Amino acid sequence: MRIRIVDAFTDRPFAGNPAGVVLFDGAFPEDDRLQKIAAEVNLSETAFARPLTGASQDADWALRWFTPLTEVDMCGHATLATAHVLHTTGAATGTVRFAARCGVLTATAHEDGSITLDFPTAPLTPAALPEGVTEALGAEALSAHDTGPHIGDLLVELADEKAVRGLAPDVRALGRLSRRGVIATAPAEDPSRGYDYVSRCFFPNVGIDEDPVTGSAHTALAPFWSARLGSDDLNGLQASARTGLVRTGLRGDRTLLTGSAVTVIEGDLLA
């Protein structure tokens, strides 16, 4: 079977967030085999997709995502990577519908090569700042929000972009604060640079100390910053070492995530 490594939420190789993508012709192999492949690829997520047939289907492809340690409910960058592979190989055109753990997701390709994902908006709930969160982050936390069951993160607001960029957290301590991890965010210092807010994401509980660019986190960042900045359409920069830009569009209970992707490696899975 073919396996591809795709850099997502970037228009150039070796940036954004790399994801493994494996397409199957028929049924998925057993879960243990999928998990072993994801552990071998050893990226934040590997996506596995297979076509669905029958006029009664609500989706065109079944889609699953695995970190090196576990299967997850939702992943934005690996969905973008999968849609990119489907379109660049001619396996799909136009809008693709994916059946996933979190419901039906769509990916629409545009003429400029970018792809827009339609994901459920995270149900943000204000939360008390957990004891030790400032110490774990190494920066003062201003507010906190729970991001709901599909994401399972604690979204933490910091004072400014400099604080987010300068984080050197105790990731093991962050893992005790929520199911998956912590999203740290702040407004952009200078929106004229092309982004409105910044973030960094730490998910030690699923084997990812820091995720380069996290689409699922932006389903929480979009409503958080739209409420504060007064616009439903914003640009979010994930300020990891690789960096990546996510264009977010808040549409009520759905969030649009737009970005580009680049295939950097393609080969055969032999085992």
266 counts as catalytic: no
> How far is the C-alpha of 125 from the C-alpha of 227, rounded, in Å?
13
CB 171 within 8 A of CB 210: yes
Active-site residue, selected from the candidate residues 45, 157, 161, 210:
45
DSSP-derived secondary structure letter, 40:
H
CB 143 within 8 A of CB 129: yes
Q: Which two tokens stand for residue 227?
A: 């409420």
> How far is the C-alpha of 47 from the C-alpha of 49, rounded, in Å?
7
| Cα→Cα distances 21→110, 171, 266, Å | 21, 27, 10
Spatial neighbors of 54 by CB under 8 A, at least 6 apart, are none
Integer-rounded Cα Rg, in Å, for the chain is 18
Catalytic residues, by residue number, are 45
